[in-house]
Amino acid sequence: MGLLDSVSPRAIATSALLLGSLAQGVFARPSPEPKSDWVRKGPGGSGGYFKKKVHDQIRRAVGGAKRTAELESCAETTTTTITAPKPNPWAPLSNEETASVVEWLFSRGDLNLTTTEDATAWDNSIVLVESMWPNKTDAVNYLDANAAAPTKYAHVILNNRATVDAHYADILVGPLPIDSATTWSPLEFPYTKKSGGTVRNLDADQSALYSEWIYPISASIADITLDLWNATGMGLDNDTLSIWGIDPLWQDDGRVTMWSAFWNSPTGDFDDSTVLPLGLYFRSDVTGRDPSQWTFEGWLYNDIFYETTEEFRAAYWSEGFVKNSPNVDGQWAQTGQVGKVEPLDLLPPPVQVAPAGSRYAVDPEQQYVEWMGFSFYVGFTRDAGMALYDIRYQGERIMYELSLQEALAHYAGNDPMQSGTAYLDTFYGFGPYAFELVPGYDCPAHATYLNSSFYVDETCRTHINSICLFEFEADHPIQRHSTSKYVSITKNTYFVIRYVATVGNYDYMFSYSFFLDGSIAVEVRASGYIQSAYFANNHDYGFQIHDSLSGSMHDHVLNFKADFDILGTSNSLELVSLVPHTTTYSWSKTPRNTMKIDRKFIESEDEGQFNWGANSATQVIIVNENATNKYGEYRGYRVLPYTGTAHLTVKGSSNLNNAAHWAEHDIVVTKRKDTEYRSTHPLNNQDTFEPPIDFSKFLDGENLRDEDLVLWLNLGMHHIPHTGDLPNTVQTTAHSGVQFMPSNYFLEDQSRRTVNQVHISYGEGEAAVVERFGQFEASSENATCKPNYEPVEENLEAYVGDIVVRKFPFDPNNPFYQTDAIGKK
Ligand SMILES: *[C@@H]1O[C@H](CO)[C@@H](O)[C@H](O)[C@H]1NC(C)=O
Ligand SMILES: *[C@@H]1O[C@H](CO)[C@@H](O)[C@H](O)[C@H]1NC(C)=O
Ligand SMILES: *[C@@H]1O[C@H](CO)[C@@H](O)[C@H](O)[C@H]1NC(C)=O
Ligand SMILES: *[C@@H]1O[C@H](CO)[C@@H](O)[C@H](O)[C@H]1NC(C)=O
Ligand SMILES: *[C@@H]1O[C@H](CO)[C@@H](O)[C@H](O)[C@H]1NC(C)=O
Ligand SMILES: *[C@@H]1O[C@H](CO)[C@@H](O)[C@H](O)[C@H]1NC(C)=O
Ligand SMILES: *[C@@H]1O[C@H](CO)[C@@H](O)[C@H](O)[C@H]1NC(C)=O
Ligand SMILES: [Cu+2]
């Protein structure tokens, strides 16, 4: 079920998750109306408050939301719609465009393609059809000047398996729309490996790997698995074990080595097999495409290695063999309410409402958003999910792109399963696993939703309401000051765009927040099931968290690309550090121990990789040296950790080799190039020594003063799961973020522009004088809804999942022909 088939647990856990969801029937419901009311526009573009106060502030507003007393429940908050200044150059291909590309690909005899449904391990098939990103100059000339929209191409990945040298091929198809001029060409320019856009496929024989290899090996020790765990794993419907192992496969010495591990099966409907390890492992050499050439290399149990099955069996049935107890499913591993209910917990908790409808404006067609002087376009890809482009504040571009690049989960352990695990999650993709969000839980009840779509198996699947947007009031003001005569205080209302991707066992929640002071934050939170280890011999690698369970230590490192454009593309990175200082001043008789600031620029890519300074003493500021403010200071944006961040603890990872050099520091700055568009490739795990993108090759000493710069920033967590990670990791603390704030960019704090502040003057014995700056009428009198819990509950019954549009053969009049929702197959 994984988009790229694989033996690894991410794919297996993901299909279990999907099937589990199906079992609960959540995908079986008819498609509902979206929760938020996109299409509702004010009658003839009029509409009380909206028209009067906001219309002239929001450019190109085509119609206000309905803001009348008819709107009684805040759960049906209206969304203000606008038209994007230009059609989104990062928009996905339309259904028709994708269908035409797929049809064209199948018509090409030279590509020799078979439909995925009919493809065997020895047929070529299509993995991906997606919109190719535009080069920056083309996109900027289109957005800023009157240049034509960038020429459209489709980015296609083929799985060429009709050959002994199975490989994936990245190609470009275009220009679009398809006509006689359309051609395909290998896509190579964004990759550091110059191999015609191809990378070997280590998973081509995944079905044989199970049917001809893993299950027969497991069956050969059924006497032992039954005795140890009363369970078998033979590839039958009544299997009570699952078997999956390391990712990436070991690729040393030109050999491909696989470690497989045994996991107990959930006994309930829960997706908890990753917390049920059993502590038995086997090693195989699975080099090449001929299963008859694969070799079995031994068993590992309780830290004792047995080279043959005979040796293992003899030892097992001999006296004194130490048998460790299995991890067995139970309520401890299952989510849902347990334990004493605190009495007041039965009362409804507080909620926020948006009484006047949305104060942000969205073009749902073009996925373009505006809020309080900010604007941006939304893009969405299979590999890395949602990305933001052309982020502007008060009309000036701050960032051309802000996007996730990769998420790494690097484990360690005394056993080869944990030691050999270093998931590179874009292999599975974030896009396909961005499921429908749960209103009132993932996002406030008053949020607005967007859909996301992705390609799989000649179909286009849509996840309804998988991106949410909302305004929220922080639990603290953004500004305050009290004196004996007055208090001045401003609300901290901010705007969030969010989505969640459940990649196998883990749920990543990505939030991009925008604040009234002009700052922006990116945060990731993690929840879901940990991947745990069998406890025996693993005490140096985790806490014991259940009877035979270790919370396997791992590093999460998530790489983000921040392509800043501070007042143009001529930017530099300045480090401003607080340093201890001892000096004698003209006014001091003796030297004084004190501190001062040191300023320095990163001159070239030779100095381009570094970590957050000790004691947070170094400010990282991206400035335009040619844009000084009236005091001569550089205008810029500062980058600072918001919550904890992390880079990879492991040095020179034996699992990853050259596949994740991006994970080695907190911050890397490079000169932006079309040829260095992404820090990594989703297929880097297929060839870890010579991956398609080896990030270390980006650092080739180029000048970084007055250049177009990209910051590659790592968020992450060093995760040593403890008992509180059972049954699921909690997002209170599994949280990492970075923020971007104006640094001498404006001459004053921008949040003072909001009317949502008060100045209360008070005197002895006199009534206080309250200055409300006009906000009171607007926010209170003109509130158009009242809180109501019921619709939120009702909406959950309409949770639907995804929608599929058949791509080949494609019949626009019958788009659902021969398709099923995810999980139905
Ligand atoms: C609020 O609504 C009242 C009554 O409809 C209207 O007269 C007033 O102008 C509105 N105030 C604002 C700030 O739009
Ligand atoms: C085309 O693919 C088929 C398998 O689908 C394979 O048998 C055949 O050899 C391939 N033809 C060429 C020319 O590669
Ligand atoms: C984008 O830039 C790359 C690298 O310079 C170039 O090879 C490619 O042709 C460009 N793409 C388009 C559509 O111009
Ligand atoms: C062993 O498993 C079988 C079926 O999986 C079950 O019926 C039986 O009760 C189990 N035996 C024990 C001792 O748990
Ligand atoms: C599982 O199914 C196989 C084949 O249908 C059967 O031979 C075996 O007895 C079953 N095992 C259990 C534990 O039910
Ligand atoms: C999301 O998809 C549903 C079902 O196709 C559609 O009714 C709705 O308008 C879409 N929402 C947006 C914001 O495009
Ligand atoms: C920016 O300033 C630097 C020196 O401060 C100068 O060398 C460079 O030419 C300037 N660039 C532009 C585009 O004005
Ligand atoms: Cu974790």
- Rounded distance, CA 819 to CA 272, Å? 29
Q: Please enumerate, as own/partner, the contacts of 447-451 that have beta carbons within 8 Å and a separation of 24 or more.
A: 447/36, 448/36, 448/38, 448/77, 448/79, 448/358, 448/360, 448/362, 449/34, 449/35, 449/36, 450/362, 450/364, 450/367, 450/378
- The CB of 803 under 6 Å from ligand 6? The reply is yes
pLDDT in tens, 144-153: 999 999 999 9
Verify that 172 and 284 share a domain, yes or no: no
Q: Quick one: average pLDDT of 521-537?
A: 96
Whichever domain contains 299, its CATH number is 3.10.450.40
Ligand 2: centre distance to CA 161 (Å):
9
pLDDT in tens, 202-240: 999 999 999 999 999 999 999 999 999 999 999 999 999
The confidence score (pLDDT) of residue 732 equals 95
808 has a pLDDT exceeding 70: no
Verify that 172 and 267 share a domain, yes or no: no
70 has a pLDDT exceeding 60: no
Inter-axis angle of helices 309-316 and 222-229, nearest 10: 40
Verify that 233 and 324 share a domain, yes or no: yes
Q: What is the DSSP string of 718-766?
A: EE---GGGSSSB-TTTSEEEEEEEEESSSSS-GGGG-S-EEEEE--TTS
Verify that 183 and 222 share a domain, yes or no: no
- Rounded distance, CA 491 to CA 285, Å? 62
> Is 16 contained in some domain?
no
The angle formed by the CA atoms of residues 415, 417 and 419, to the nearest 5 degrees, is: 65
Decide: 610 and 639 in contact? Cβ < 8 Å. Answer: no
Domain end marker among 171, 200, 229: 200
Ligand 1: centre distance to CA 71 (Å):
16
The confidence score (pLDDT) of residue 410 equals 98
> Is 645 contained in some domain?
no
Buried b (16+ CB within 10 A) or exposed e, 670-697: bbbeeebbbbbbbbbbbbbebbbbbbee
Relative to the CA of 781, which ligand 1 atom is closest?
A: 1
Q: What is the DSSP string of 329-361?
A: -SGGGS-S--SPPPGGGGSPPP----TTS-SSE
The confidence score (pLDDT) of residue 464 equals 94
- The CB of 285 under 6 Å from ligand 7? The reply is no
Domain end marker among 185, 200, 215: 200
- Rounded distance, CA 20 to CA 27, Å? 10
Q: Quick one: average pLDDT of 501-511?
A: 95
- Mean residue pLDDT across the chain: 88
| Closest protein CA for atom 11 of ligand 2 | 112
Relative to the CA of 119, which ligand 2 atom is closest?
A: 5
Verify that 231 and 311 share a domain, yes or no: yes
Taking every pair of Cα atoms in the chain, the longest distance, rounded to a whole number of angstroms, is 95
Could you tell me the residue range of the domain that residue 100 belongs to? 95-200
- Rounded distance, CA 161 to CA 167, Å? 6
Domain end marker among 265, 300, 329: 329
The model's confidence at residue 765, banded by pLDDT at 50, 70 and 90, is: confident
582 has a pLDDT exceeding 60: yes
pLDDT in tens, 269-295: 999 999 999 999 999 999 999 999 999
Verify that 226 and 245 share a domain, yes or no: yes
Ligand 8: centre distance to CA 244 (Å):
19
Ligand 7: centre distance to CA 708 (Å):
13
Tell how strand 154-160 and strand 183-186 pair up.
Answer: unpaired
Verify that 175 and 217 share a domain, yes or no: no
Q: Please enumerate, as own/partner, the contacts of 111-117 that have beta carbons within 8 Å and a separation of 24 or more.
A: 111/158, 111/184, 112/162, 113/158, 115/458, 115/808, 116/457, 116/458, 117/457, 117/458
Ligand 6: centre distance to CA 155 (Å):
25
The confidence score (pLDDT) of residue 356 equals 81
Counted domains in the chain: 2
> Is 414 contained in some domain?
no
**Residues marked as catalytic:** 425, 506
pLDDT in tens, 790-802: 544 546 777 776 6
pLDDT in tens, 393-424: 999 999 999 999 999 999 999 999 999 999 99
C-alpha closest to that of 17 among 270, 266, 241: 270
- The CB of 625 under 6 Å from ligand 7? The reply is yes
Closest ligand to residue 230's CA? 4
> What token pair was written down for 166?
């199975």
pTM of the predicted model as reported, rounded to 2 decimal places: 0.90
- The CB of 120 under 6 Å from ligand 4? The reply is no
| Closest protein CA for atom 9 of ligand 6 | 34
- The CB of 601 under 6 Å from ligand 7? The reply is no
> Is 475 contained in some domain?
no
| Closest protein CA for atom 8 of ligand 4 | 230
Verify that 218 and 183 share a domain, yes or no: no
> Is 263 contained in some domain?
yes
- The CB of 240 under 6 Å from ligand 4? The reply is yes
Closest ligand to residue 137's CA? 3
With the most atoms of ligand 5 within 8 angstroms of its CB, the residue from 218, 227, 229, 236 to mutate is 236
Could you tell me what percentage of the chain is helix, strand and coil, using 3-state DSSP and rounding each to the nearest 5?
20, 35, 45
